[in-house]
Amino acid sequence: MFPVGLILVVVLGAELFTGNNALLIPAFMSRRCTAGEVARNWTLVYLGNFVGALLFTWLMVYAVGLTAADPWHSAVQRIAVAKVSMPWLTVFVKGVGANWCVCLAVWLALSGRTLLSKMAGCWLPVMAFVALGYEHSIANMFFIPLGMMEGAPVGVGEAVTANLIPATLGNIAGGALLVGCVHAALHLQRKPEGKKS
């Protein structure tokens, strides 16, 4: 499901917090936007993604009973518990890996010229992060609340402090540093010395 979600985001021009972690860094590094503008975008998009994830989880999954029966019912409970039971540093490092993959997927998709090439660019890295069990803050805004709705013994504070905070910080590090900064440093055109703008 997650590759499909990223394909829709990229092709339709929607905003995704984790993708924006990388996409805004080249503009910041080339002084086309300020740190305040980057922080404002990340904050607003993060909150918007959170509200959207909660509404989708409640309305399109829980309320219609998609996970009411086993094996899905017990599976989503176990997933929610597992996500808040890992050590903080483990969640952080898995967050780095997740958004490294997601932002590389966005980069690949943006380099594609056809719909199929954009889809392939999104699909492969996202499939890898899901298969590796990495931690994606926006995906966890779906998984953990769904588990809680289905009766998982997880509190709101626990979900935020044990998973969403370290996953989000790891996602920022993976996307902004390992993709945005690296690619900006490699590809930003530098003006020849001695020339004035």
Q: pLDDT digits over 53-106, tens only?
A: 999 999 999 999 999 999 999 999 999 999 999 999 999 999 999 999 999 999
pLDDT value, residue 186: 87
24-to-2, 42, 83, 134, 141 alpha-carbon distances in Å = 22, 9, 28, 23, 22
∠ CA 130-169-163, nearest 5°, is 60
Q: Residue 155 carries which DSSP code? A: -
- Spell out the domains of the chain, with CATH numbers in brackets: 2-187 (1.20.1080.10)
Whole-angstrom CA distances from 120 to 4, 56, 116, 132, 190 are 11, 25, 6, 18, 31
pLDDT above 80: residue 193? no
Read off the pTM.
0.91
